Amino acid sequence: MPPKSGHHRAKNVGYDDDDMYGEEEDYYEEEGGEGDGMTEEDKEQMAAATLQVKEALFGDLRLTDKEIQEALWHYYYDVEKSVIYLKNKHTPKEPAQPKQSQKPVSRFDQAAGAADTGAPTGKHSLHDIQSTTLCAALSLNRVDVPYPEPLLAPLSMESLSTKTSNFFWDTPWGGIDRNRMGVIMEPTRLRGGLLGGSKLAALAAKRKQKQQEQASNGDGTSNADKAVALLDRLSVKGDRSAPAVAEAPKPSVRYQRKKSPSPKPEPEPEEDPEPEPVKPLIEFPDLRAEPSTFAATLCSDDPAQKRKMVTFASFDVPYSTQSKFRMSNPWDGPSPDDVVQEAQKRGAGRTPKAKKTPKKTNGEALAESVEKLSFVDDTPKVKSKNLNVEQEYAQSGLKRMLNFVVIGHVDHGKSTLMGRLLYNMKVIDQRSVDKLRKEAENLGKSSFALAWVMDQTSEERSRGVTVDIATNNFETEKTRFTILDAPGHRDFIPNMIAGASQADFAVLVIDASTNSFESGLKGQTKEHALLVRSMGVQRIIVAVNKMDTVAWSPQRFNEISSQMTEFLVSASFSPKQITFVPVAGLTGGNVTSHTEDPEATWYTGPTLVAALDASEPAKRPIDKPLRLTIADVFRGSIINPVSISGRIDAGNVQVGDVVLAMPSNQRATIKAIESETGEPGDWAVAGQIPVLHLQGIDPVHLRLGDILCDPTQPVRLVRSFTAKILAFEHVLPSTVDVFRGRLQAVGRIVKLSAVLNKSTAEVVRKRPRIVKPGEVARVVVELERELPLEVGVRVVFREGGKTVAAGLLEG
């Protein structure tokens, strides 16, 4: 007998036979000692219990002590249970009742009965469906698995024929096509595991077989009890004290152990715990839908089944059901591309037939006509008056016209001086000057008020420097002047060059205040002077400015004059063409009238305006072919969509003339002409800077620096040229930026031909390796792109932000 400790433990929990077997086996091996294993206490307890059982039987049964003790051992000295057991076992049995249904039916028998008959006994319920469906879904086998109580609710015959789809007949998706319903395939072979091929299943099968044999032998009375006992063993027992009226002694393999001396109970039928898997005993109603193609393909081992399902569930794509689709061969006939190409071939050479235009709505017609209107150039053709412009100019009695460029180092007072000039010449009124002064004061730049007469952009005003050429006009009694105010900052030298290229003469402004003149010499004072000379400017007026800051010192004035004369003469200016005027642009001294400052009485020379007026204009090549350098392009005006302004270098123009823009090589007609002062006119001549309103040309073909020329004698586009240059820096064969007015291109000095005499232009030295600053030389230049250049035009070479040389194109 096992010791008590193991006894209690085994009774507290109901285990599966498999579990108990292994567990107990280990246990006995540990305990396996000699003798019956009963302690003295056990023996006493057994003897007392045996007496009690005998008393309880009252001699009803003649039983040996061994039989009684066997029962007591089995029921752990429980006298009551042992008595019941013994009575049941040894009381003669009555013949089996023919109506088993009248007997209390255990739950196991309910399930077993269902398996036997294949017919459920109760009503169809949701649980039925769920249980059977669940079983099918999980185990994929039909086995006699003990179900939880709710799942064993009786099934009706009706449910047998019930399909899963019928159950969902009232759901929104109940009418789904059969071939679109999900299917679970039953595997073709049994799987192992608890629900498929466990010992439990085998045991149940064996028991069922035994029951059938007993029933056939007429011994079916204890089937139900045994079934219940089996069920009880399969569930956890929470209450051992509950009466077990029909409970049979629990069959246990432990008593069959070799070493156990205890009396052996009756041999149980479950001798063979590992029977072969047998056919499932419970046949559940077949609620499965047909497997889907996917499931059949994936799960089924049966190729025939797979084929069947594929055939069953395959369906045509929608449009393939149309006979037209089925019958047609997409490769019949030519491809769409072939059709198009064939049609194009046939249509080649034929005049296209007028398309049948669909009838338009009023709105569409209106929109179309408006669109047409916008593209129709309704500008009337400009007719030329065929004037003799040279004769017109001679007879016009116009004042002579002079353009001058204002140059000098940054902040030496150029714009202020010009502002004062314009103010004194009544070009701008006091109100305008007051307004500018106020604005300048607000920005803390009150001293710049007069400069703002010329510097009109916000950038120029906020930075206090001139950026681009500013133009303005004024007149004296005999001359109409155009001012070209150039920026003094070295960053804007290309703009200064553009201004210088339009000028007849130059006004060089020098700050007379201490150190400013000297610093200017190192800066742009000399560079500007050299540049304008190189651009063909011969006359120069030097305005020694800010004389108020040096108390109109004649010494300072003379000092500056002498130094600058020396330099300018060295730069090829004729002394006769150089004029010095002491001025104060801010206060207006000597600008248009002599200053009243007593310290300035020593100066008796001309005022600035007088010096300007004393200038002689260069000879105007009015009779030459037209050459106009574009200085500005305007677009967007409704009346005049495209306009340009620029100096006429040579020739003349009149309204109705056709001009050629180079290098774009586009023609345009002159629609109207305005003078520098905005007065309309019929013609303009060389030396003037008119505004020309053009038609018949897109503004994209017009850029700053381009040339408008006579279409019959156009300017040449060149890639290589020879020039006579004045060197400002050492000149070597190298890459340079070539400027022609505002036109610019990258070029390379490929050859130093000769160093020339400055006055006579005779060759001094052939093929020099280098040209020194101040020397005049002949060089050959090649350009990266074509520029409109011809003999006599001025070019400037710059390198690394510095002007290295400037000169005249020779060929």
Ligand X SMILES: Nc1nc2c(ncn2[C@@H]2O[C@H](COP(=O)(O)OP(=O)(O)OP(=O)(O)O)[C@@H](O)[C@H]2O)c(=O)[nH]1
Question: Do residues 679 and 652 lie in contact, with contact meaning Cβ atoms separated by under 8 Å?
Answer: no
Structure-block tokens of residue 395: 């007879």
Looking at 81, 226, 288, 412, which residue binds ligand X (CB under 6 A)? 412
487 scored as a contact of ligand X (CB under 6 A): yes
Question: Smaller CB distance to ligand X: residue 281 or 450?
Answer: 450
CB of 486 to ligand X, least distance (A): 8
Please say which residue, 203 or 550, places its beta carbon nearer to ligand X: 550
HEC profile of 579-603 = EEEECECCCCECCCCCCCCHHHCCC
CA gap 132, 125 in Å, rounded: 11
Per the omega criterion (within 30 degrees of 0), is the bond before 277 cis?
A: no
Among 280, 413, 646, 690, binds ligand X (CB under 6 A): 413
Tell whether residue 45 is a contact of ligand X (CB under 6 A).
no
Decide whether 111 or 500 has the Cβ nearer to ligand X.
500
**Binders in 582-611 for ligand X, by CB under 6 A:** 584-586
Helix (H, G, I), strand (E, B) or coil at 725: strand
204, 465, 510, 781: which one binds ligand X (CB under 6 A):
465
* Candidates 55-63, 81-89, 481-489, 564-572; binding stretch for ligand X (CB under 6 A): 481-489
Residue 633 · residue 715 · CB < 8 Å: no
Query: Which residue's CB is nearer to ligand X, number 451 or number 650?
Result: 451
Distance of closest approach, residue 516 Cβ to ligand X, in angstroms: 9
Task: Please tell me whether residue 138 adopts helix, strand or coil conformation.
Answer: helix
- Asked if 259 contacts 28 with a C-beta cutoff of 8 angstroms, the reply is yes
Alpha-carbon gap, residue 566 to 773, rounded angstroms: 16
Question: Which 143-202 positions form the footprint of ligand X (CB under 6 A)?
Answer: none
Select from 47-55, 76-84, 444-452, 714-722 the region that touches ligand X (CB under 6 A). 444-452
Q: How far is the CB of 367 from ligand X (least distance, A)?
A: 53
208 binds ligand X (CB under 6 A): no
Which of 111, 282, 410, 662 lies at the binding interface for ligand X (CB under 6 A)?
410
Contact stretch for ligand X (CB under 6 A) within 238-246, 403-411, 758-766, 780-788: 403-411
Q: Which of 466, 482, 561, 643 binds ligand X (CB under 6 A)?
A: 466
Contact 663, 706 (CB under 8 A): yes
Nearer to ligand X, 196 or 408 (CB): 408
Q: Round to whole Å and give the CA distance between 625 and 75.
A: 140
Quote the CA–CA distance of 448 and 415 in Å, as a whole number: 9
- Pairing assessment for the beta strands 802-809 and 776-788 based on DSSP bridges: unpaired
Span of 65-73, 191-199, 487-495, 747-755 interacting with ligand X by CB under 6 A: 487-495
For 382-443, the DSSP string reads: PPP----HHHHHHHH-PPEEEEEEEE-STTSSHHHHHHHHHHHTTSS-HHHHHHHHHHHHHT
C-beta closer to ligand X: residue 585 or 690: 585
Q: Least distance (Å) from ligand X to the CB of residue 528?
A: 10
Give the nearer residue to ligand X in terms of CB position, either 156 or 549: 549
| Residue with token string 């059901």 | 321
Q: Which of 156, 209, 260, 447 binds ligand X (CB under 6 A)?
A: 447
Segment lying near ligand X (by CB under 6 A), choices 26-34, 351-359, 407-415, 498-506: 407-415
Burial class (CB in 10 A: 0-12, 13-18, 19+), 803: buried
In whole angstroms, the minimum distance from the beta carbon of 443 to ligand X comes to 12
CB of 783 to ligand X, least distance (A): 31
Residue ranges of the alpha helices (H) in 217-328?
A: 223-234, 293-299, 303-313, 323-327
The Cα–Cα gap between 466 and 474 comes to: 20
H or E element in which residue 660 lies: strand 658-662
Gap between the Cα atoms of 686 and 502, Å rounded: 11
Cα 369 to its chain centre, rounded Å, is 42
* Residue whose token pair is 């285990």: 15
Applying CB under 6 A, the span of 317-325, 382-390, 412-420, 726-734 interacting with ligand X comes to 412-420
**17 vs 455, which CB is nearer to ligand X?**
455
536-575: contacts with ligand X (CB under 6 A): 545-546, 548-549
Rounded Cα gap, residues 50 and 37, in angstroms: 19
Question: How would you class 567 by CB atoms within 10 Å of its CB: exposed for 0-12, middle for 13-18, buried for 19 or more?
Answer: middle
Q: Is 510 in the site for ligand X (CB under 6 A)?
A: no
* Cα–Cα distance, 640 to 699 (Å, whole number): 12
Report the 3 state secondary structure along 54-83. HHHHCCCCCCCHHHHHHHHHHCCCCHHHHH
Residue 84 vs 418, nearer CB to ligand X? 418
Give residues with Cβ within 8 angstroms of 467, minimum separation 6: 457, 459, 460, 487, 489, 492, 495
Name the minimum Å distance from CB 530 to ligand X. Answer: 17
Q: Does 448 bind ligand X (CB under 6 A)?
A: yes
Nearer to ligand X, 135 or 417 (CB): 417
Count interface residues toward ligand X (CB under 6 A).
Answer: 23
Residue 389 or 451 having the CB closest to ligand X: 451
Residue nearer to ligand X on the CB measure, 291 or 413: 413
Rounded to whole angstroms, how far apart are CA atoms 75 and 383? 138
Name which of 450 and 795 has its Cβ closer to ligand X: 450
Contact 281, 143 (CB under 8 A): yes
- Measured N-to-C along each axis, helices 40-57 and 79-90 cross at an angle, to the nearest 10 degrees, of 50
Min. distance of Cβ 546 from ligand X in angstroms? 4
**Nearer of residues 448 and 739 to ligand X, judged by Cβ:** 448
User: Rg for the chain (alpha carbons), in Å?
Assistant: 62
Between 285 and 585, CB nearer to ligand X: 585
Among 65-73, 411-419, 703-711, 751-759, which window interacts with ligand X (CB under 6 A)?
411-419
Q: Which residue is nearest to ligand X (CB)?
A: 488
Identify residues 250-309 at the interface with ligand X (CB under 6 A). none
Residues 221-250 interacting with ligand X (rule: CB under 6 A): none
Least distance to ligand X from the beta carbon of 557, Å?
13
Distances (CA, A) of 452 to 335, 472, 524: 74, 12, 22
Q: Which of 120, 249, 488, 807 binds ligand X (CB under 6 A)?
A: 488
Shortest spacing between CB 414 and ligand X, in angstroms? 4
414 vs 742 by CB, closer to ligand X: 414
CB of 509 to ligand X, least distance (A): 6
Residues that bind ligand X (CB under 6 A): 408, 410-416, 447-448, 451, 465-466, 487-489, 545-546, 548-549, 584-586
